[in-house]
Amino acid sequence: MVELNEVFETVNMVSNYNLDVRTITMGISLLDCIDPNLDVLCGKIYNKITESAKDLVKVGDEIGSEYGVPVINKRISVTPIALIGGAACKRPEDFVKIAETLDKAAKKVGVNFIGGYSALVQKGMTTGDKLLIESIPQALAVTERVCSSISLGSTKIGINMNAVRLMGDIVIKTAEATKENDSLGCAKLVVFCNPPDDNPFMAGAFHGVTEADRIINVGVSGPGVMRAALSEVRGADFETMCETIKKTAFKVTRVGQLFAKEASRRLGVPFGIVDLSLAPTPAVGDSIADIIHEMGMEYAGAPGTTAALAILNDQVKKGGVMASSYVGGLSGAFIPVTEDSSMAKAAEIGALSLEKLEAMTCVCSVGLDMIAIPGSTPATTIAGIIADEMAIGMVNQKTTAVRLIPVIGKDVGDFAEFGGLLGEAKIMPVNKYGCADFVNRGGRIPAPIHSFKN
């Protein structure tokens, strides 16, 4: 039985503290669409997506309206397209045709984004993998809603440095291909170490091959709720602070669990997971940096920030895991710079540097996320930054990611604007010293010794 005070509490969280369900994401397997004929393949993909997700947006809006909690995004993730298109695609332009098909299907059903223009190349690349990767700049330039992700490493396998080096070039080419919009294409491109198969958040969502034919995954949010709760215990000891975070995460996750089960029932699609991440938006008051400030830092990036983020991430998991029967995805706290107005402010005034952000990624959900850097940054430097972040994920047995945006024609201190949930921020400086001799070595960085657990 739901208590009356719980109802009032939820209404208060929605009205005053930006509580929302960040996304309902339908995962769709395209394995049964594989065909050596490209036109037939694209037709099968379009039909499978539009039939499977025809009611997704309507149901998401209905549930949000009925329960009074907004559902911000409705999204789709699909099987990594390098697997689906390998038999039919003989050149990068063939994969671009699939990307256009995905975009057309996403627009037809009305979702905000579709993820899965992806390749998993932790150990090596097939011909199809390489063709898809080479197609990314054009694919993201000619589509609006397609998101791309590439897995470059894992704790069990190591890091594919050939792919890391290639992605340094691809990020620059994607930036060039979309330079008229502040290199927006790079905001829809992310590289991973240890990516989960059930992540509902973009740009990294794809539908893993171990998943069911269709699945419903929900991502909750609530940084504003968490900040408000912590303001009630300002100055209290760490035990009190941790208990407050746990209890708040439990309440927020229960909302996600309710929405996930209800969407699953109405759509006739199995419930997958609730991703209990704290995901910010550019809206004032909906910020991870504000939580860190409330925990005692003058600005995010001040000494103590990494410890505060570690506490937040751990307590969110401890509280959220008790609130849902199935927790997965990334789950924890996101620290995207452009998507978090207070994080962007901290970067603007110099409190937050790229190196401090890298340190913070050791204890948060993802990694170096939505960071605008000078358009003149060398591809080898970008590859080196990617390698650093992949190493953090590999050694620490956690998911890490990199989503850098080298904004062509702009330099440190200039503003980059991406719009909507993608936000805006000043361009951050990058270490000026080179790493070309390292990233050009080629080959694979071996898995760490603690990966051998069979």
The structural domains of the chain, with segments of one domain joined by +, span 23-193, 218-440
pLDDT at 4: 37
Task: Provide the pLDDT confidence category of residue 8 given band limits of 50, 70 and 90.
Answer: very low
pLDDT at 278: 80
pLDDT at 73: 86
Task: Provide the pLDDT confidence category of residue 259 given band limits of 50, 70 and 90.
Answer: confident
Share of the chain above pLDDT 70, in %: 95
Closest residue by Cα to residue 129 from 174, 79, 89, 159: 89
Closest residue by Cα to residue 321 from 339, 329, 76: 329
Q: Which of 53-57, 107-111, 169-173, 364-368 has the lowest mean pLDDT?
A: 364-368
Across residues 368-397, what is the average pLDDT? Answer: 95
Closest residue by Cα to residue 69 from 25, 22, 13, 20: 20
Task: Provide the pLDDT confidence category of residue 283 given band limits of 50, 70 and 90.
Answer: low
Task: Provide the pLDDT confidence category of residue 5 given band limits of 50, 70 and 90.
Answer: very low
Neighbours of 451 (CB within 10 A): 16
| Residue 94 CB contacts under 8 Å (≥ 6 apart), including other chains | 38, 85, 88, 131, 135
Across residues 351-368, what is the average pLDDT? Answer: 90
Per DSSP, which regions of 161-302 are E strands? Answer: 189-193, 214-220, 271-275
Q: Which of 125-134, 211-220, 255-264, 430-439 has the lowest mean pLDDT?
A: 255-264
Q: Which residues pair with 151 in a beta bridge?
A: 120, 192
Whether 300 and 289 have beta carbons less than 8 Å apart is answered as yes
Q: What are phi and psi of 327, to 5 degrees?
A: -115, 140
Cα dihedral 194/441/437/382 (nearest 10) = -30
Across residues 141-146, what is the average pLDDT? Answer: 96
Share of the chain above pLDDT 90, in %: 65
Across residues 409-434, what is the average pLDDT? Answer: 88
pLDDT at 162: 97
Across residues 425-450, what is the average pLDDT? Answer: 93
Across residues 210-215, what is the average pLDDT? Answer: 93
| Residue 454 CB contacts under 8 Å (≥ 6 apart), including other chains | none
Task: Provide the pLDDT confidence category of residue 48 given band limits of 50, 70 and 90.
Answer: very high
Task: Provide the pLDDT confidence category of residue 10 given band limits of 50, 70 and 90.
Answer: low
Cα dihedral 353/355/360/361 (nearest 10) = 120
Per DSSP, which regions of 53-138 are E strands? Answer: 71-78, 113-120
Task: Provide the pLDDT confidence category of residue 3 given band limits of 50, 70 and 90.
Answer: very low
Across residues 138-158, what is the average pLDDT? Answer: 96
Computed over every residue of the chain, the mean pLDDT equals 90
pLDDT at 153: 96
Cα dihedral 281/283/284/287 (nearest 10) = -10
Look at residue 166 and tell me whether its pLDDT is greater than 80: yes
CA dist 83 and 30 (Å) reads 9
Across residues 213-227, what is the average pLDDT? Answer: 87
Looking at per-residue pLDDT, the higher value among 115 and 274 belongs to 115
pLDDT at 7: 43
Cα separations in angstroms, 185 against 117, 139, 148, 191, 405:
13, 9, 10, 14, 8
CA dist 175 and 179 (Å) reads 6
Rounded to whole angstroms, the maximal C-alpha distance in the chain is 65
Q: 218-440: same fold as 23-193?
A: yes
Per DSSP, which regions of 112-188 are E strands? Answer: 113-120, 146-154, 158-160
Closest residue by Cα to residue 52 from 113, 106, 112: 106
CATH topology of domain 23-193: Anaerobic Ribonucleotide-triphosphate Reductase Large Chain (3.20.70)
pLDDT at 339: 84
CA dist 367 and 376 (Å) reads 22
Across residues 395-422, what is the average pLDDT? Answer: 90
pLDDT at 18: 57
| Residue 279 CB contacts under 8 Å (≥ 6 apart), including other chains | 22, 201, 219, 221, 223, 334
Look at residue 84 and tell me whether its pLDDT is greater than 50: yes
Looking at per-residue pLDDT, the higher value among 323 and 306 belongs to 306
**So what CATH class is 218-440?**
alpha beta
pLDDT at 9: 54
Across residues 116-128, what is the average pLDDT? Answer: 96
pLDDT at 13: 53
Would you put residue 409 in left (φ > 0), alpha (ψ -120 to 50) or beta? left
Whether 347 and 337 have beta carbons less than 8 Å apart is answered as yes
